[in-house]
Amino acid sequence: MKKLVIVALAVAAAACVSESTMRVEANQQFQQMRRQLPISTDPAQRAYIFCVAQSVLRVVEEPYASRAWEIEVFDMPDANAFAMPGGKIGIFSGLLDVAQDQHQLAAVIGHEIAHVTREHQVAQANRGMMTQGAAAVLGASVGMQQEAQALAQVGLTLPFSRQHEREADEVGLIYMAEAGFDPRASITLWKNMEEKSTGPRPPQFLSTHPAPEDRMGKLIAGMSGALDRYNAALARGVRPVCE
């Protein structure tokens, strides 16, 4: 049984998705979203969001800093945002109900950009292949495909996702601070998120995101270093005014 799982993982890992392939796919998906979802036509809203995003992008490292990033604002009520390989950023207008000032918005955007600069989507795509391979062999060997898929998901995909979320929080905190946004706003942001969330949350070990209290605890732990970077940015005259 153990050997079968190892073989499945090895086979799946051989078909790795490259970052360049992900950039092509992401561009296609982003343009499709632009065609199918309503786009915000509020010039003030768009200018505000673009200002915050561009301010954060100025501090990202190469090769990401040199990419031609595209930013779009979708007129959707969801409190959501994303960044995709190749430099695509999408903000749903409903996010502004939760991210209530430029600092809180920068916390979200920094977090999403960090997923790209740390190539989390690429790693997650490859991990997904491993999950499917493991589930296929487990299902064939014990005759319980559904249970095997659930086991592989809990054992592989979800913990990997939580690891990425924590890293994106840490890196995003650095980005926003170096861009001149107050990193303490990240704590307020996640409190707002928690207050506006509805319905019971799954246990942390079955969630792709860390529990809010865990997330805020990690942010607080890294706040001292982030504040040093923030104060250094202010001393250099980095003071974005996007409101």
Q: How far apart are CA 219 and CA 96, in angstroms?
A: 21
Torsions phi, psi for 227 (to 5 deg): -65, -35
- pLDDT at position 4: 35
Closest to 179 measured CA to CA, from 45, 20, 54: 54
Q: Contact, 53 vs 112, CB < 8 A?
A: no
Q: Look at 115-129, 162-176, 189-203 and tell me which has the smallest mean pLDDT.
A: 189-203
Q: How far apart are CA 118 and CA 120, in angstroms?
A: 6
Mean pLDDT score, 230-235: 97
Mean pLDDT score, 126-130: 53
Mean pLDDT score, 8-31: 68
Give the burial class of 189: count Cβ atoms within 10 A of its Cβ; 0-12 exposed, 13-18 middle, 19 or more buried: buried
pLDDT above 70: percentage of residues in the chain: 70
Q: How confident is the model at residue 213 (pLDDT cuts 50, 70, 90)?
A: low
Whether the pLDDT of residue 150 is over 50: the answer is no
Q: Look at 130-134, 158-162, 215-219 and tell me which has the smallest mean pLDDT.
A: 130-134
- pLDDT at position 166: 86
In the numeric block, the tokens 């939580």 are attached to: 162
Please tell me which residue, 212 or 222, carries the higher pLDDT value.
222
Closest to 99 measured CA to CA, from 129, 62, 73, 131: 73
Q: How confident is the model at residue 193 (pLDDT cuts 50, 70, 90)?
A: confident
Whether the pLDDT of residue 177 is over 90: the answer is yes
Q: How far apart are CA 49 and CA 70, in angstroms?
A: 12
- pLDDT at position 128: 55
- pLDDT at position 230: 97
Q: How confident is the model at residue 21 (pLDDT cuts 50, 70, 90)?
A: confident
Peptide bond just before 212 cis, omega within 30 deg: no
- E strands of 10-116, at which residues? 70-74, 81-84, 88-92
- pLDDT at position 26: 83
Q: How far apart are CA 201 and CA 31, in angstroms?
A: 32
Q: Contact, 179 vs 56, CB < 8 A?
A: yes
Q: How far apart are CA 71 and CA 68, in angstroms?
A: 10
Whether the pLDDT of residue 92 is over 50: the answer is yes
Q: How far apart are CA 121 and CA 140, in angstroms?
A: 29
Q: How far apart are CA 117 and CA 64, in angstroms?
A: 7
- pLDDT at position 192: 86
Please tell me which residue, 211 or 220, carries the higher pLDDT value.
220
Q: How confident is the model at residue 218 (pLDDT cuts 50, 70, 90)?
A: confident
Across the strands, what pairs with 39?
A: 74
Q: How far apart are CA 221 and CA 217, in angstroms?
A: 6
- pLDDT at position 219: 81
Whether the pLDDT of residue 172 is over 80: the answer is yes
Give the catalytic positions in this structure.
112
R_g (Cα) of the chain, nearest Å: 19
